[in-house]
Structure 1
Amino acid sequence: MSSFSPLLSLLLLLGALLISPAVSLQCTSQTFSTKAHYANCSDLPTLKAFLHWTYNQTKSTLSVAFVAPPAAADGWIAWGINPTATGMIGTQAFIAFKDPQGKVAVKTYNLTSYGGITPQKLSLKVLDSRAEAAADGVMRIFATVELPEKMATVNHVWQVGASVKDGVPQKHQMSQENLDAKSTLDLTAAGNTISKAPSPAPTAAAPGGDGKKTAISPASGQTTGNDAGGASRNWKSNMNLHAFFTVVGIFGLVL
């Protein structure tokens, strides 16, 4: 029995490593009121943020749904692409916040410095954008942009802030969590792209007041989760489980 315990511990550790992290993604439980799905979703590593996205290789378009809670009730959220670097400077950003009437609006900004910002047209072609708030305190940005052809990766940046003054988002905190709010999307990985134009998505529906469902914008280029992204995640999970049970069998023979 003394020799069995270390082997069992090793077996459990191997099983945990083999099972895909995608199985436990929180973003997979998030749904939208139009019942449209993105090919991929990610639990972003900072600021309690999530990103749903689909890359349409034929049209060279990237459609996203960015979900995050602002740093305060009257704050803002932002997501953007940096075509030239990995940090904030140069980011082509979408920033969402409440207007004086309490409606959530989204504006575009070309972040060229750490100083004040003003709405500007992006260097990327924006096909669609909108934003909304939910009862659970999160905001959502929906956008579709056209990327340069044959782009393999995208540097993206996200952020949240606590206040908006006279229609201008104020500076965010400079904590490590804020500074680390950047990553790269691999557009060419298996399961991340669709190669033909999808069916048109429904036009905008009413915002999700229950905090669980949201409307999604037209021309967003989605595929269902059971297609590209979902199939890839399921295939990886099945292969990992197969590998896990293979290890179980091997250790069974040893024991």
Structure 2
Amino acid sequence: MASSVGVLGVCVCLVLISRAVSLSCTSQTQSLKGNHKFDQCVDLPTLDSYLHYTYNASNSSLSIAFMASPEKPEGWIAWAINPTGTGMVGSQALIAYKSSDKGVVVKTYNITSYGPVNESKLSFEAWNLSAEATSNGSLIIYGSMKVAEKAEKLNLVWQVGSQVQDGKPRKHAVLPQNLKAKDTLLLGKPSSTPSPSPSPSSSTPHAPEKGGQSSIKSNNLSFSFAFIFFISAVFFP
């Protein structure tokens, strides 16, 4: 009996490891439309969200694929650039959700307040906008947009919500993971010089990384291996 339980425990561990490894943008190429490849990707620090992107300095454009899961299947996901600040107000957002008659749609929003949002044009040019659903319930937003000439960094905001009514995304939750869904993306090549450790009150901008490795993957792997050693000690003394 103990042997059977032990084998079951090890199987659970292997599933956890597989899931931990999948929680990285580097494993998502097969999920992207036409297996499209971007130059860089990054595991965003909250809401289990991921960004694949290519920055073209020659024409000041950014092409992206943003992946996240709505709070509920009938919910929405959003990705935005804020050209004027670091929070929600001022964000130029792409919001995707499942429409009852049009499949997955993506619309543009100029977020001017904390009230209800209305579809509107962005403050910069955007093209090739589309969205799709994955087999695991996530949504992916695709698009290209103009950014400031010779831009060195972009203020990013992203979010997920649980409901869309009459074609309008409803308010998202205000849990810590929602409130922390903003960061700075550094454009260009990653620096070879290690960054200093951030203070508790600061956040570290995300430099573009080939492979987009982050603490999300390493933390999950650490947990999985620790769990394996625990099972081994209990069931295989």
Unaligned runs of 5+ in 1: 1-22, 192-227, 234-255
* Structure 1 residue 28 corresponds to structure 2 residue 12: no
Mapped to 1, the partners of 2:96 and 2:66 lie a distance apart of: 10
How large is the Cα RMSD of the aligned pairs?
2.2
Partner residue, 1:203: none
Matches within 5 A, 1:135-174: 135-174=135-174
Change (3 A) 1:56 1:167: same
Q: How many matched pairs?
A: 175
* Structure 1 residue 130 corresponds to structure 2 residue 126: no
Match of 2:34, SS? coil
Match of 1:80, SS? strand
2:106, 2:129 within 8 Å by CA — same for their partners in 1? yes
Task: Give me the identity figure in percent.
Answer: 47
Q: Where has structure 1 moved over 6 Å in runs of 4 or more?
A: none
When normalised by structure 2's length, the TM-score is 0.69
Q: Which amino acid aligns with 1:81?
A: I
Unaligned runs of 5+ in 2: 1-20, 192-207, 214-237
Partner residue, 1:55: 55
Partner residue, 1:79: 79
Q: Which amino acid aligns with 1:108?
A: T
CA deviation profile, 1:62-92 (whole Å, cap 9, x unmatched): 0110000000010000001000100000000
Q: Which amino acid aligns with 1:99?
A: S
Match of 1:84, SS? coil
Mapped to 1, the partners of 2:151 and 2:34 lie a distance apart of: 29
Change (3 A) 1:111 1:33: closer
Change (3 A) 1:160 1:188: same
Mapped to 2, the partners of 1:146 and 1:46 lie a distance apart of: 26
2:94, 2:108 within 8 Å by CA — same for their partners in 1? yes
Mapped to 2, the partners of 1:189 and 1:66 lie a distance apart of: 20
Partner residue, 1:219: none
Mapped to 1, the partners of 2:69 and 2:41 lie a distance apart of: 17
Mapped to 2, the partners of 1:161 and 1:25 lie a distance apart of: 20
Shift, 1:33, TM fit: 4.3
Mapped to 1, the partners of 2:97 and 2:67 lie a distance apart of: 13
1:190, 1:232 within 8 Å by CA — same for their partners in 2? no
Matches within 5 A, 1:1-255: 26-31=24-29, 32-101=32-101, 103-190=103-190, 230=210
Q: Which amino acid aligns with 2:115?
A: G
Q: Which amino acid aligns with 1:46?
A: T
Mapped to 1, the partners of 2:80 and 2:212 lie a distance apart of: 26
Q: Which amino acid aligns with 2:26?
A: T
Match of 2:35, SS? coil
CA deviation profile, 1:46-68 (whole Å, cap 9, x unmatched): 11110111100001100110000
When normalised by structure 1's length, the TM-score is 0.65
Shift, 1:141, TM fit: 0.2
